[in-house]
Amino acid sequence: MTEQACMEDELTLGGATPDAGHDHRPGLDRAVVPRRTGLQFPRQIPLTSWERIGRQLSLIADSSAWWLGDWLVYGQDHYTDRYRTAIERTALDYQTLRNYAWVARRFSLPRRRDKLSFAHHAEVAALSEADQDLWLERADRHRWSRNRLRRELRQAQTEAKAVRRQPAAAPADLNLRPSREQLERWELAARIQDCDLTHWMVQGLETLAEEVINRNAARSTPPAFPPSRPSGSGVILYQIARQEPETAPLSRESA
């Protein structure tokens, strides 16, 4: 028996059972005979059988990309100096094989999803393993086509780049109108703590805010004012909160 006849016989005898339309193991219905240059059909087959054969052919075509990729990976790993010569003896295109092998190396066998095509895996092959799994899971769950996966991935990447290009948010401006007495007292407190007025105010507000938030977390309702006086730079701010506004405030914008 010739080598070509053996190949044809193996593919025919390894055919799938009639119920293999939903099987993810490649095989071909015994109703047809595969040849090197074609597929021989009987005179009449049911529509359901014809549809099943189409699904089987699609699965075989997709699986062949994985097979060829794994074949080249094995040759690269085991026959470093000779695999190129072996490829030249076949009718296979080396660049295509390299593309298949690159995807195959990016996905170990346990990480390949048999419900998704080789093309799905190729779309996300350049990502980290975590992102690969994330996008393949989405494609599997939502039954995305390869093109839909590509669009979703590109949109996500475009949005991420847009966020990175956005400038940092500018500090918010806060306008205060303290009285002269209040302003002098704040400046004195800031000098005592050896810091500028703006830093002292921010530090004091942060301290007071943290104390209020922490107390509020331990109670069902927050108090109108803190029951105890805050320490440090928050002392002056606590006093400010309890004072009535002056009738003739001094206009000054805090930096």
pLDDT for res 200: 83
Residue 189 shares a structural domain with residue 156 = no
**Which residue range(s) make up the domain with 80?**
1-106
Confidence grade of residue 218 (pLDDT, cut at 50, 70, 90): low
226/99: higher pLDDT: 99
Confidence grade of residue 110 (pLDDT, cut at 50, 70, 90): very high
Give the position of tokens 């990502």: 127
C-alpha to C-alpha distance for 104 and 68, rounded to whole angstroms: 9
pLDDT tens-digit readout, 67-90: 999 999 999 999 888 888 888 888
pLDDT for res 170: 62
C-alpha to C-alpha distance for 29 and 52, rounded to whole angstroms: 8
Residue 120 near residue 146 (C-beta atoms within 8 A):
yes
- Residue at 170 is within a domain: no
- Residue at 96 is within a domain: yes
Q: Which of 78, 106, 134 is the last residue in one of the domains?
A: 106
Total-model pTM: 0.54
- Residue at 253 is within a domain: no
Residues in a beta bridge with 35: 38
Residue 83 near residue 76 (C-beta atoms within 8 A):
yes
Residue 136 shares a structural domain with residue 236 = no
pLDDT tens-digit readout, 167-201: 666 667 778 888 888 888 888 888 887 777 887 88
Report the number of distinct structural domains present in the chain: 3
CB within 8 Å of 144: residues ≥ 6 apart: 120, 138, 152
The stretch 123-138 carries a mean pLDDT of: 94
